[in-house]
Amino acid sequence: MEHYDESLSVESLLSAFGLSRLEAGMYCVLLQEGALNGYEMAKKAGISRSNAYTALSSLVDKGAAWLMEGSPTRYTPVSPQEFMDNCLNKTKRARDLLLTLLPTRQQVHGGYITIRSSSHILDRLRHMIQETRERLYLEIDRDFLLSLIDDLAALCGQGKRLVLITQLDTETQRSCALQLPGAEIHTRERADGMLRAISDSSLVLAGDSPRSDLSTCVFSDERNLVDLVKNALKNELTLAELGQNRSGS
């Protein structure tokens, strides 16, 4: 599940489906009002009639509205579920075709890649999870763990090993244990603001928890960094186990 800033408007989110801010606003008006002609839309949106007709025509071209027979011409919205599903299906078909047409990516070994901003860090982590062949060690804050729960559940469902270090209350820990069968979940008392992940003892992602566009992580297959982060995770596991033993005694 993608983490969007709650301050983002519906119009901003609809841009991910190819609508301009004006088109998105008019789409919302159609959803609220039903079928409208260009004159009615111009009055509702507070824009010129020519701009209203241009934007309505664009909504039809982009699959967000339909033309209704009659005079004057009226426009009715495609349901949000159908519109967004159609957009996703088109994108998937384009992706599948491009994967057969684009040059094969050459594997680059060694070096350190800097990844900035919360969305890019989460994207990279999500792909690490999906590409894990045998085992994944992950230290992550609670909120970001929950946003990745579906990807982690798929990994566990494939019988791959998952070791988690996070901070969870008892109820959330029980819920995660049910959703992540077989996972080794270690809790710690507080978040330290760090993200650490090792996939198959060969790839590492380490740095800030992805809380903002200022967050930064390093991604690498360098043995030295893999070993360094692995030792840090071992220490965290030891501390988590000590804390769990104290709480259970």
Domain topology for 112-248: Endonuclease; Chain A (3.30.870)
The proportion of the chain whose per-residue pLDDT surpasses 90, expressed as a percent, equals 67
Question: Does 246 have pLDDT greater than 80?
Answer: no
- Please check the confidence at residue 85 and state whether its pLDDT lies above 90: yes
Phi first, then psi: what are they for 141, rounded to 5°?
-70, 155
Q: Name residue 178's beta-bridge partners.
A: none
Tokens (6 digits) for 103: 């040059």
pLDDT in tens, 45-66: 999 999 999 999 999 999 999 9
Q: Which residue has the higher pLDDT, 190 or 248?
A: 190
CB atoms within 10 A of CB 43: 12
pLDDT of residue 94: 96
For the chain, residues classed under CATH 1.10.10.10 are 10-81
Matching residue, tokens 């769990």: 244
End-to-end CA distance of the chain: 37
User: Per DSSP, which regions of 42-179 are E strands?
Assistant: 65-68, 74-77, 112-116, 135-139, 161-166
Residue 74: beta bridge partners?
37, 68
- Give residue-wise pLDDT tens across range 88-139: 999 999 999 999 998 876 665 678 999 999 889 999 999 999 999 999 999 9
For residue 173, name the pLDDT band (cuts at 50, 70, 90).
confident
Q: At what angle do helices 21-33 and 49-61 cross, to 10 degrees?
A: 90
Amino acid at 199: S
pLDDT at 168: 83
Q: What is the pLDDT of residue 244?
A: 61
Residues of the chain with pLDDT > 70, as a percent, come to 91
pLDDT at 247 over 70: no
**Mean local confidence (pLDDT), 37-41:** 95
Q: Is 143 left (phi over 0), alpha (psi -120 to 50) or beta?
A: alpha
Is residue 6 scored above 50 in pLDDT? Answer: no
Tokens of 131: 């590409």
What does the alpha-carbon distance between residue 123 and residue 178 come to, in Å, rounded to a whole number? Answer: 25
Degrees to nearest 5, angle at CA 15 with 13 and 20:
130
Phi, psi of 213 (to 5 degrees): -70, -10
DSSP 107: P
> Does domain 10-81 sit in CATH 1.10.10.10?
yes
Sheet containing 65-68: give its strands across. Answer: 36-37, 74-77, 65-68
Residue 192: which pLDDT band, with cuts at 50, 70 and 90?
low
Sheet holding 161-166, edge to edge: 112-116, 216-220, 203-208, 194-199, 135-139, 161-166, 184-187
Query: How far is residue 32 from each of residues 44, 113, 244, measured CA to CA in Å?
Result: 11, 46, 53
